[in-house]
Amino acid sequence: MDLSLENINHSYGDLTVLSDINLDIRQGQIVCIIGPSGCGKSTLLRLIGGLERPDRGDVFQIGPPPPGSLNPLTFIFQDFALLPWRTVEGNVSLVLEDHNLTASDRHRIITDVLTRTNLISFKEAFPRQLSGGMKQRVAIARALSVSPAVLLMDEPLSALDSQTRELLMDDLVGLWDRENFTACYVTHNLAEAVRLGHKIVVLSRRPGQIREVVEIDMPLQDRKDRMVELDARQRHLWGLLRDEALVADQELMNA
């Protein structure tokens, strides 16, 4: 299943946050969206996932979602959004309970995703007992449990310290190698974008518009060892963002 965004415009009251966004997300591709803070990256993701309605323009699903997909557009949030009163197992179970599954099917899916994400020995733990990295792994397991067609990731690594971030990035690359998932990945971290993105979309400051789309052909699993070659791409992206970020930084909130 591909996604296609056509002429997306969105504003909150008088404030235009996104204007004229056209973008394709192809199956098996990770599309990274970067931009200065407040440029509407997260809004764009919520529009794609149907949590908000664009003022103008449409988001189209092209082709049917893969058979067995319970929730084709599935989010992974920056703050993990785990229920603190449910265990790891219970948090995954939560999103399966509203679907027509037998208890044994549900149990099989939970065991499967927790095994795939190496969380099976933590299944009885409560979120408060887990580190930030483990919490985000639980959220990833929860997202995988509904067999998504596209993962919508809203700064998934931004709440983690840099070592944990590095580990999780390896996890994500490994996961993509095995499962070839499709994702739209919002971040403000350029290193994440060049490590994970097949296509990097640079948004401008408010109102967010697409400034440039950078494609990187290098296979994901090679990138860690060939960062030197990617450095030029990262510097190019920083060149695009720097001035915008500077101005955005000095803007008054709610201006």
Partner 1 sequence: MPDPAPRQTVAYRGGGFVHSPKTLTGPVVFVALLIIWEAGSRLGWISPLVLPAPSEAFEAFRELLMSGLLWKHLSASLQRLVTGWISGTILGVMAGLAIGLSSHIRAGLLPLVSAIFPIPKIALLPLFVIWFGIGEGAKTATILFGTFFPTVIAVYGGVDNVDRSLIRMGQSFGMKPLSIVIKIILPGALPAILSGFRISASIAIILLVAAEMIGAEYGVGAYILLAGSLMATDQLIAGVAILSMMGLSVSWLIGRVEKALLRWR
Compare residues 147 and 209 and give the one whose CB is closer to partner 1.
147
Q: With binding defined as CB under 8 A, does residue 125 bind partner 1?
A: no
**Which of these segments, 82-90, 111-119, 176-184, 239-247, binds partner 1 (CB under 8 A)?**
82-90
Write the single-letter amino acid at 47: L
Compare residues 71 and 209 and give the one whose CB is closer to partner 1.
71
- Structure tokens, 222: 């090679």
Please give the Cα distance from 146 to 143 (Å, whole number).
Answer: 6
Sheet holding 182-186, edge to edge: 73-76, 150-154, 182-186, 30-34, 199-203, 210-215
Q: With binding defined as CB under 8 A, does residue 74 bind partner 1?
A: yes
- Nearest by Cα to 143 from 75, 72, 85: 75
Torsions phi, psi of 167, nearest 5? Answer: -60, -45
Q: What string marks each residue from 37 to 56 as x (binds partner 1 by CB under 8 A) or -?
A: ------------x-x-----
Q: Which of 21, 146, 172, 230 binds partner 1 (CB under 8 A)?
A: 146
Of 218-247, which residues contact partner 1 (CB under 8 A)? none
Compare residues 156 and 207 and give the one whose CB is closer to partner 1.
156
Residue 215, helix vs strand vs coil: strand
Q: With binding defined as CB under 8 A, does residue 75 bind partner 1?
A: yes
Least distance from partner 1 to the Cβ atom of residue 80, Å: 9
Q: Which of 22, 56, 63, 81 binds partner 1 (CB under 8 A)?
A: 81
Q: Which of 2, 27, 94, 211 binds partner 1 (CB under 8 A)?
A: 94
Cβ neighbours of residue 103 closer than 8 Å, sequence gap 6 or more: none
- Structure tokens, 249: 């930084």
Q: With binding defined as CB under 8 A, does residue 77 bind partner 1?
A: yes
Please give the Cα distance from 17 to 207 (Å, whole number).
Answer: 4
Counting residues that bind partner 1 (by CB under 8 A) gives 22
Q: Which of 62, 83, 218, 246 binds partner 1 (CB under 8 A)?
A: 83
The C-alpha torsion from 114 through 120 and 122 to 123, rounded to 10°, is 70
Q: With binding defined as CB under 8 A, does residue 126 bind partner 1?
A: yes
Sheet holding 56-62, edge to edge: 15-25, 2-12, 56-62
Q: With binding defined as CB under 8 A, does residue 95 bind partner 1?
A: yes
- Nearest by Cα to 35 from 14, 48, 17: 17
Least distance from partner 1 to the Cβ atom of residue 13, Å: 19
Write the single-letter amino acid at 8: I
- Chain contacts with partner 1 (rule: CB under 8 A): 49, 51, 70-71, 73-75, 77, 79, 81, 83-86, 94-95, 97-98, 126, 128, 142, 146
